[in-house]
Structure 1
């Protein structure tokens, strides 16, 4: 799987929630396509659950009800 080919959801650009993933991709010299921006983790996880996007979230940010791996 090449992450550059994936479609992402993330926090809005310039927000503290987005900074870690932006820095990680910059450090790796990679590019990603963020097509959805959301402030709600529930919304992000819903988009992931419906196989519309992928996301990078800290395990501490994911509610326990969503801790199981997604299909």
Structure 2
């Protein structure tokens, strides 16, 4: 698996947005840019900025991007 860093653009499952909107159907994958990597956490956590400017914290299991 690649090492992701600040500035990388990824596609991810936006479970937080799905819960916020109270959706039962799957959400279309979202695109975002990594703005922070918490490498001290195991596994690492990533702060990702969505295209609308909001942010969410993700783990690698949320990523769809697998380069």
Shared fold (TM-score greater than 0.5)? no
Q: With structure 2 as the length reference, what TM-score do the two structures score?
A: 0.28
Q: With structure 1 as the length reference, what TM-score do the two structures score?
A: 0.27
